[in-house]
Amino acid sequence: MQLDALRIFCDVAVTQSFTDAARLHGCTPANASQSFHALERELDMPLAEHGLRHVHLNPAGQVCHEYCRQMVGLADKLADKLDKFRAGSGSLEIAACPCIGLYRLPQLLRAFQQAF
């Protein structure tokens, strides 16, 4: 299962429309429909009853929707956590009072030069 397909499935379930779900994802209604039907084929069961204007989930589709929402939510949380690591890594800022630096720095430089 691909995460994008799960997202489209969830949006079709909420909006009850391939057109509206496709609009949310910036794709065509045919693409949203193919994604939905690919999930049905992968699970080997129908997940919805297709009407003329609306898509209504059957009981299996409702269970699938609940778990797909949880999976998409976990994937979003993971992405947020990883973004925090990306944003937080990279640089370390150190500040010191100049007068303390002038007092301690010569001693530390001599010790460093002797050691290395």
3-115: CATH architecture: Orthogonal Bundle (1.10)
Q: Which residue has the tokens 């009072």?
A: 97
pLDDT at 88 over 70: no
Length of the chain: 116
User: What is the reported pTM?
Assistant: 0.68
Please state, in angstroms and rounded to a whole number, the distance separating the CA atoms of residues 60 and 45. 8
Choice between 1 and 23, residue whose per-residue pLDDT is larger: 23
Name the most confidently modeled range: 35-44, 52-61, 100-109. 35-44
- Average of per-residue pLDDT values in the chain: 86
CA atoms within 13 A on the CB side of 5: 14
